[in-house]
C-alpha cells in the first residue's frame, strides 16, 4: 500500500505524508502519514490514514511529537516490566538462599541440603522435574530429584562421559533443549521432556555437578526463568564448595584432637579434712611436746632413756 522509499525516509526519522491511490487502502483515494517510533532496533512506525484531506506540515510535526511520546511510553512500560522481572528474580534467588542457609544450619549433610535445593528450584522455576547430580571420580551420581520416574532412584550412577549430563559436566557449558533430541552426544535424555535446561554447578574453574530442570509448567516455558536459573546454579555451586570446605575443616579438627594432643585426665578431688582425725593429730602432737622430741616409734627419746635406766642389770 505504501511506497518503500517513503517507509525508509520515515524510519530514518523524518515524518512523511503521501497520497494513497484508490484500491490500495480503500475504494477511494486517501492520504497516509508515517512517523518513526524509536524504541526497537528493527524499527517501528506510527501510521495514520484518512480520506479527502492530505496531511499538512503542522500535522506532520504533531505526528512526530506523538511518536516520541509513544516511544517514551513503550520504553517506560518495558522498564517497568523488566523491573518486575528483576524483583521476581531476586525473590526467587533470596528464597533459594534462605533454603540453603536453613539446610546448612539444620542438616549438616549434602544429601538433605540438595534435596531442599531441588524442591525449591522446581517450585521457583516452574519445572515438573528437577535433578542434581554430583561428580564422583569418573561417574555422575544422582543426589537429589523431584518428579523423576520411580525407576530412577537416588544413587543412580552413569559414566562421566555419557549422556547430556556427562557432556555438560565435562564441557562446563549449559545446554537448552526443546522437543525430541537427535544428537548422538545427548543420547539417553528424556524424550518426553518437552523442554529442558542443563547447567553445570561450578566452584571457580571446577565443575562439581549438574543441575537439570525440565517439563515447564508455565505456558511460556523457561523463557523468563533462564537468567534466574543460571544465578541459582552459580549459588548452588558456591554452596557446595562451602560445604566441602566445612567438611574438610571438621575432619582436620577431629584428626588434630585425636592424634597430636593427649587428652588431659581429670584432677582428683580434694577431700575435706575429718575433724576427728585433726583432733587426734593435735593430741599426739601435744603428748610428744611434753615428753620430748618424738622418735620414729612414736615415743620420746627422753622417756625411753628413763625407762632403760630403771631396768635392773642382771649379773
Using an 8 Å Cβ cutoff, are 13 and 6 in contact?
A: no
Residue 141 has pLDDT above 80, yes or no: yes
Residue 102 has pLDDT above 80, yes or no: no
Tell me the pLDDT of the chain averaged across its residues: 74
What are the angstrom distances between the C-alpha of 261 and each of 253, 257, 258, 265, 269? 11, 6, 7, 12, 24
List, for residues 239-292, the tens digit of each pLDDT value: 888 777 666 656 666 676 665 554 555 555 566 666 666 555 555 455 454 444
Question: Residue 39 in 3-state DSSP?
Answer: coil
Using an 8 Å Cβ cutoff, are 8 and 34 in contact?
A: no
Residue 228 has pLDDT above 80, yes or no: yes
Q: Please state at what angle helix 110-125 crosses helix 57-106, rounded to 10 degrees.
A: 160
Using an 8 Å Cβ cutoff, are 207 and 133 in contact?
A: no
CA-closest candidate to residue 103, choices 252, 249, 242? 242
Give the model's pLDDT for residue 301. Answer: 44
The residue among 226 and 23 whose pLDDT is bigger is 226
Instruction: Over range 124-136, report the average pLDDT.
Output: 91
Q: What pTM was computed for the model?
A: 0.54
CATH code at 107-257: 3.30.450.40
Among 18-22, 61-65, 139-143, whose mean pLDDT is lowest? 18-22
List, for residues 202-213, the tens digit of each pLDDT value: 888 889 999 999
DSSP 87-124: HHHHHHHHHHHHHHHHHHHHT-SHHHHHHHHHHHHHHH
HSE-up (13 A, CA, CB side) for residue 259: 6
The residue among 259 and 79 whose pLDDT is bigger is 79
Give the model's pLDDT for residue 91. Answer: 73
CA-closest candidate to residue 236, choices 264, 267, 200, 206? 200
Q: How far apart are the first and last CA of the chain?
A: 167
Max mean pLDDT among 55-69, 158-172, 260-274, 294-308 falls in 158-172
DSSP 211-249: EEEEEE-STTTTGGGHHHHHHHHHHHHHHHHHHHHHHHH
The proportion of the chain whose per-residue pLDDT surpasses 90, expressed as a percent, equals: 13
Amino acid at each position: 500500500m505504501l511506497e518503500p522509499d517513503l517507509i525508509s525516509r520515515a524510519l530514518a526519522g523524518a515524518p512523511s505524508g503521501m497520497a494513497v491511490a484508490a484500491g490500495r487502502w480503500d475504494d477511494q483515494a486517501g492520504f497516509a502519514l508515517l512517523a518513526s517510533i524509536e524504541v526497537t532496533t528493527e524499527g517501528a512506525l506510527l501510521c495514520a490514514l484518512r480520506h479527502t484531506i492530505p496531511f499538512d506540515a503542522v500535522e506532520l510535526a504533531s505526528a512526530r511529537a506523538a511518536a516520541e511520546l509513544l516511544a517514551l511510553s513503550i520504553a517506560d512500560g518495558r522498564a517497568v516490566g523488566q523491573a518486575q522481572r528483576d524483583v521476581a528474580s531476586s525473590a526467587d534467588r533470596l528464597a533459594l538462599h534462605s533454603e540453603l542457609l536453613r539446610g546448612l544450619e539444620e542438616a549438616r549433610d549434602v544429601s538433605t541440603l540438595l534435596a531442599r535445593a531441588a524442591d525449591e528450584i522446581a517450585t521457583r522455576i516452574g519445572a515438573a522435574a528437577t535433578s542434581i547430580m554430583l561428580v564422583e571420580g569418573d561417574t555422575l551420581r544422582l543426589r537429589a530429584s523431584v518428579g523423576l520416574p520411580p525407576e530412577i532412584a537416588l544413587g543412580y550412577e552413569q559414566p562421566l562421559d555419557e549422556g547430556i549430563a556427562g557432556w555438560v559436566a565435562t564441557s562446563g557449558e549449559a545446554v537448552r533443549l526443546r522437543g525430541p533430541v537427535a544428537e548422538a552426544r545427548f543420547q539417553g535424555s528424556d524424550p518426553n521432556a518437552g523442554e529442558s535446561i542443563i547447567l553445570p554447578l561450578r566452584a571457580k574453574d571446577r565443575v562439581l555437578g549438574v543441575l537439570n530442570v525440565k517439563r515447564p509448567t508455565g505456558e511460556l516455558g523457561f523463557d523468563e526463568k533462564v537468567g534466574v536459573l543460571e544465578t541459582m546454579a552459580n549459588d548452588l555451586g558456591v554452596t557446595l564448595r562451602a560445604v566441602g570446605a566445612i567438611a574438610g575443616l571438621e575432619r582436620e579438627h577431629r584428626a588434630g584432637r585425636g592424634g597430636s594432643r593427649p587428652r588431659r585426665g581429670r584432677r582428683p578431688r580434694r577431700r575435706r579434712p575429718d575433724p576427728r582425725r585433726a583432733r587426734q593429730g593435735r593430741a599426739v602432737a601435744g603428748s610428744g611436746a611434753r615428753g620430748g622430741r618424738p622418735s620414729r616409734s612414736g615415743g620420746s627419746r627422753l622417756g625411753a632413756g628413763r625407762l632403760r635406766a630403771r631396768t635392773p642389770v642382771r649379773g
